[in-house]
Amino acid sequence: MVRVADDRDGQRLDNFLLGQLKGAPKSLIYKLVRSGQVRVNGGRAKADTRLQGGDEVRIPPVRLGEAADKGTPARGLLEAMEASIVFEDARLLAISKPSGVASHGGSGISFGAIETLRALRPNQSLELVHRLDRDTSGLLVIAKKRSALAELQALMREDGGITKRYLALLVGRMPDGVMSVDAPLHIGLRQGGERHVQVNAAGKPSLSHFKVLERRGGHSYCEVRIETGRTHQIRVHAKHIGHPVAGDDKYGDVAVNARLREQIGLKRMFLHAASLEFALDGGKAPYVLNAPLATELVETLDRL
């Protein structure tokens, strides 16, 4: 029997169980709930049942096979995550995620940033507030308290609730000033289940603002502010205006990417989540979180 802590108030039962049964696949969690082996205050419940602080949850004994035990993250990854922390207080933890590290595990990746941080802090409750593409570096925010997670996710759903700023190198010469791209984005699936996003009238409203900071080597180093947080938003909007993100192997310019790789050693996508601004406690506690531009991207600019 597990008592639900007050800061878990409002959490879905399936997510609560995933936190209690570390390493258990989701399919097992749903099977346990469907079969009635999990009880909330003595009664059956559904996976999407919202728990309340003080609820008593019966969790049946579960034996996880060896396959479910993925071990622990490699020492190098643990050290990289420890070194990447740029901010921490009682509610939040922020890291500057390296390019190549997924926000969370899945689809062949055992350990993403969140799993590695949980391995570093086994006695802390850590939840991802948002995600970054695997190849995007920069600011990733993790909630240490359920209340902070709920408030931040509510802010993300609000227009202007959170100011998100990215730094990107776009291929070619962008016009001066701010170029706003208001183009709906639709997620499609390609063979093999790979997500591919495109501008499509049937998609969700998406708004990005591109501002040239300086020009380097015939390309445009830009600040990008996004007012919506759609999958691959900056990458697809950049392609849509004819200036794809340098080094983007999914939506980018293959020939330019190859040239940048050979001539200046750009081996990754030049997209970095630089800062987030928001306020918690109903606007009373302002936060401005920053992640400095990744070293390899600074070096790329210097070589251009």
Question: Tokens at residue 260, please?
Answer: 């940048």
Cα–Cα distance between 83 and 95 in angstroms, integer? 9
Q: Are strands 92-97 and 85-88 parallel, antiparallel or unpaired?
A: antiparallel
For 210, phi then psi, to 5°, come to: -105, 130
Which of 7, 9, 69, 133 does the annotation list as catalytic? 133
For residues 168 and 238, is the Cβ–Cβ distance under 8 A? yes
Question: Tokens at residue 269, please?
Answer: 């996508």
Is residue 9 annotated as part of the catalytic site, yes or no?
no
Spatial CA neighbour of 116 closest among 68, 80, 66: 80
Cα–Cα distance between 10 and 101 in angstroms, integer? 30
Burial classification of residue 119, based on how many CB atoms lie within 10 Å of its CB (0-12 exposed, 13-18 middle, 19 or more buried): middle
For residues 277 and 288, is the Cβ–Cβ distance under 8 A? yes
Question: Tokens at residue 50, please?
Answer: 């919202």
Task: Tell me the sheet residues that pair with 179.
Answer: 210
Q: Are strands 56-58 and 85-88 parallel, antiparallel or unpaired?
A: unpaired
Active site residues: 133
